[in-house]
Each structure stands twice: as C-alpha cells, then as structure tokens.
Amino acid sequence: LVQQAYCGQIRTQDGVDMGRRHLKVAVIGAGAAGLVAARELAREGHQPTVFEQGSRPGGVWVYTDDVEEASMPGARKVRPQVHSSMYRNLRTNLPREVMSYTDFPFTRAWLDARRFCSHEEVEAYLEAFADKFNLHQYIRYETRVLTVRPIQAAAAAEPAAWHGNGHRAQSAQDLPSHSTANGNGPSHQHIAENRAVQSHDSSDPPRWQITTAPVDSQGAAASAAPTQDFDAVVVCNGHYSDVRRAELPGAEQFPGTVVHSHSYRDNVAFRGLTVVVIGASASGEDICREIALTANRVYLSARSWQNPEWAHDSAAFGPRSNILRRGVPVLLGADGSVEFEGGERADRVDVVMHATGYKYTFPFLQGAGVVAVNDNRVEHLYQHIFPPDHAPTISFVGLPWKVVPFAQYELQSKWIARVLSGRAGLPAAQAMHKHIEAFYSGLEQSNIPQRYTHMLGDKQWAYNDWLADACSSDVERLPAWRPLMYKVAGDTKRAFPERYRDTWPESELVGIAAEEAQALGA
C-alpha cells in the first residue's frame, strides 16, 4: 500500500482511510537514535524531518581529531563545540551482533571484521542503515536546532493534526488530558512554568515551533532561519558530549593540566608523563590502559570498581605494572601532587583527566518548561520517554544508559510512532505522573542515587519487553540470545579486562545471531 498522507489522516492508494493520525514530526539528531526514530516514524505514516548539526549520520560514532580543550596533550584543532567523544583506537565494548537494530544485522563487515570493532565500522553500519532505509531524504544536515517551543493554540499556522481522524487511545489508557497535577502529583516549578507557557486546549497536546540555524565547517551556527511548525518533536540529541567533572579542591593552584576524556584522542603525546585518570567506567578504564602504553605511570582513581578486585594494585590488571589504583582525589597541590582518599599521594603529576561522564542537556528546550535536569535525572518522564504534560507530542529517545542501545532505541521509536498515530495508547497525564512518582520513590527506597535514574543495566531487558508489548501485536520482544550475549560479554570483560574483546566464549550465541541474520537476508 502506498500511503498518501495528509495532516490528520492516512489514505491508502485505493482511498481507504486507515484511521491513523499522520503527523509532521521533527527529529533532533541523526545519531543511532534519530536514524531509527525517522525510520519508524516514516513506517508508521508520519512525515519526519531530521535536523542534524553534523554533515553525516552516526552521531558520536563520527570520529573527529578536533577537540574542545587546547590543553589536552596532542590537541591539534580546537573548536568550541565538538559532539563526538570517540578516541582514535576505540573498539566497541559490546560484541557487534548484539549492537544491531533488530532487522539490520551487524554480522557483515564493512571495514573491520572484528566482533568488538572500531568506531569506523560502527559508523559504516549506521551509514548503511541510513542508505538501506533511504533515510537521507529526511535529514537536513549542518542544521542545528536552536529552540523548540510549544505553540500557543491561537498562533498555530495549521490546524492541530490531533483533531484528525486518529483513534483515541485505548480505553483505560486515555490520551493525556493535561489536567492539573493533583495533590499526589509533582508541584515542581517547571510544571507551573509549563502551564504558563502552554495555552493549548486543555485536552490537546501542543504543536511545536522550531528555530534552526545552518552550521559552518567550524561548527558555529549562523543566524537563525525562519521558524517551522511541527505536530510533534522527537528529541535524539545524545548525551555523551556535555562533560561532567569531579570536584577537585586545589585545582586552581595545580601546575599540571586538568582535562576531560571528551577531548582525548590518542596516547602519543602522553609519552613519559604521570597521569591521574578519574573514573573507572568503560571510557576511564579503556583510556587508562591506552595511556599506560606510553606514559610513565597512570593512577586510575575511582569511587567504585566494576570488579572489586581491581581496587588493589596487586590485582591482575593486565601485564602493565605502571597502572596503580587509587580512591577519589581529595586535593591537588601547588607542588603538582595529588592526594587521594585514604591519604595516598601521587607526586609530580602532569595531567589529571576527568573520565567522569557526561550530562543530559537540551539547550534548545531551555526556558520551554518541558523538562528539567536535576542531578542528571531528566524529569518528569514517563518510561524515560514522555513528559506527561506535553505528551505525546514531545518525546525523548536514548536516555537510558548501561544498555545495549540500538535495539532499545528502535523499540522506543516504534512505541512513539504508534502512540503518535493512535495505534498505541498512553495513560492520562495524572496516571503518568503517579507512575513517575512511584518510580522515583522506588529508586529512593532502594538507595539508588538520583543520578542513576536512567541507568538500567540488567533492568533493560524487562524495559525492552515492556516497550515491545506496549507497541502493538506486530512488535516482537527481543530474542533470548541478546541478553545472554550481553551477559557473557560482561562476565568475560570482568574476568579478562585486558583481552575480553578478543576472547569469544559464546560461539553458540554467535551462531544463533548469524542464523537470524541469514533468515533476514543479510
């Protein structure tokens, strides 16, 4: 069926109204999340327009030598804003099969056949995905979104597509009513702010006005283009670009260099240096090993360890003896020393590198009253996706972390596309608020810090199943080999941190993934 769509309805070629809403949807970002969001929106009959500030698809996987910090050893070209955090020799920390979208296997090799492959290979995979599903046609490259604002009902240039022929949501799960939050609901300032900003009908979700600007080769945005109106917005701007740093008392007087791993590209300029890397999650640990190949000594400093054995210098941490483990730094000295928790010291430190992660930021939503980010919690979001008071016309793909991302983004996008079309439902706003509050208090009762709100880990599989079930009967849950392969890869990493990427204990699972790929015709 060829869909001839117009605002509010979808028609098939023979003129039968399928009764779904067909919306004009802006997608922000053409990384792994934005690409699959565009595909799912188009599949569902929506009209996506993807705004991408870079000149290619792939997001963080588009490597650049450019960095934000001139003081990073080896820095060549410095730009005020660099999206990618990839370093030159990065290999994935997940096996390629499990990283794939559900129906576009990552078993074939483009540039690098290794299972834990280079960033170039992942970029090639994403580019091939965009080619295969003809996604470039939707993407406006070198275009940065500057502002996203709910449109006041009276100012809307076109009638809200919401009033089209779309189905209301399923009975008990009525579409959000935008009724005021009751006593149980949050009374946060941003919600009050929302209500001041919004003037759309109390039963209507808003439409959106978007301002963009062309971006030049230096990454700078020119003056804003005229605004464009959309029925809905899907935010896919990534969350590995805006750095988070540890508090470092004494940093102002420290004579060495203090940088963030966001600007790390390679170890060449670290030859003979003494380096403290703060943070032992995936990047910190990887970078520490890489720098240790050229540096004199590397102190890996962390609050907690993926494997408790790694907290001790005596524990096996590969063949290198120049990596020492320490607690968090408590003082940087004017003499170039670093003092760690527990009183240990490192002397004559040349570089302190934060590998302390990134912040969620949505600069284009600043002042729009849609979400607030507090201690790295994006609040309030139902299922990490919909802000109840603006749902379903604004949504977020890709917020959860410690997950296998691409297939999860696909399920999130399928659900969003279906909710927008009316094929899937959402609870009323109040019910979503209640759900969110219960979720937050559950985290609190389990002593899970606020900054881990979007950290799923093992919970990702139940979340993925929930998403699949929420879509409609044509969306299947992810097959069992995926969580198994993820688990085996994690266990192997903890057991052999130095060589897990080239150790394959799960050959049976690799075979199952290959069979699935064959069945999909890849």
Q: CA nearest 409: which of 37, 27, 31, 119? A: 37
User: If binding means CB under 6 A, how many residues of this protein chain bind ligand FAD?
Assistant: 31
Q: Hey, which bits of 236-374 come out as E strands?
A: 242-243, 257-260, 274-278, 297-301, 323-326, 329-332, 338-340, 345-346, 351-354, 358-359, 372-374
Q: Give yes or no for residue 32 binding ligand FAD (CB under 6 A).
A: yes
Find the binder of ligand FAD among 102, 107, 118, 283 (CB under 6 A).
Answer: 283
The CB density around residue 293, as the number of other CB atoms within 10 Å, is 12
C-beta closer to ligand FAD: residue 118 or 430: 118
C-beta closer to ligand FAD: residue 408 or 430: 408
Q: CA nearest 90: which of 121, 111, 125? A: 121
Q: Is the dihedral of CA 472, 473, 474, 475 positive or negative?
A: positive
Contact string (CB under 6 A) for ligand FAD, positions 129-168, x = contact: ---------------xx-----------------------
Amino acid at 379: E
Q: Give yes or no for residue 92 binding ligand FAD (CB under 6 A).
A: yes
86, 287 in Cβ contact below 8 A? no
Shortest gap between Cβ of 60 and ligand FAD (angstroms)?
4
Q: Give yes or no for residue 240 binding ligand FAD (CB under 6 A).
A: yes
Q: CA nearest 226: which of 215, 239, 212, 238? A: 212
C-beta closer to ligand FAD: residue 166 or 398: 398
C-beta closer to ligand FAD: residue 237 or 464: 237
Find the binder of ligand FAD among 10, 82, 99, 370 (CB under 6 A).
Answer: 99
Region 368-427 residues binding ligand FAD, contact defined as CB under 6 A: 398, 405
58, 86 in Cβ contact below 8 A? no
Shortest gap between Cβ of 85 and ligand FAD (angstroms)?
4
Q: Give yes or no for residue 30 binding ligand FAD (CB under 6 A).
A: yes
C-beta closer to ligand FAD: residue 28 or 248: 28
Question: Segment near ligand FAD (CB under 6 A), from 50-58, 129-137, 161-169, 338-346?
Answer: 50-58
Q: Hey, which bits of 327-430 come out as E strands?
A: 329-332, 338-340, 345-346, 351-354, 358-359, 372-374, 377-379, 394-396
C-beta closer to ligand FAD: residue 298 or 429: 298
Max CA-CA distance within the chain?
79
Shortest gap between Cβ of 510 and ligand FAD (angstroms)?
17
Q: Give yes or no for residue 211 binding ligand FAD (CB under 6 A).
A: no
Q: From CA 239, how far away is CA 403, in angstroms rounded? A: 13
Q: From CA 237, how far away is CA 111, in angstroms rounded? A: 26
Find the binder of ligand FAD among 73, 164, 238, 369 (CB under 6 A).
Answer: 238
Shortest gap between Cβ of 408 and ligand FAD (angstroms)?
10
Strand order, beta sheet including 47-51: 139-140, 47-51, 24-28, 232-235, 394-396
Kindly list the residues in this chain that would bind ligand FAD in the complex (CB under 6 A).
Answer: 28-34, 51-54, 59-61, 83, 85-86, 92-94, 99, 144-145, 236-238, 240, 283, 364, 398, 405
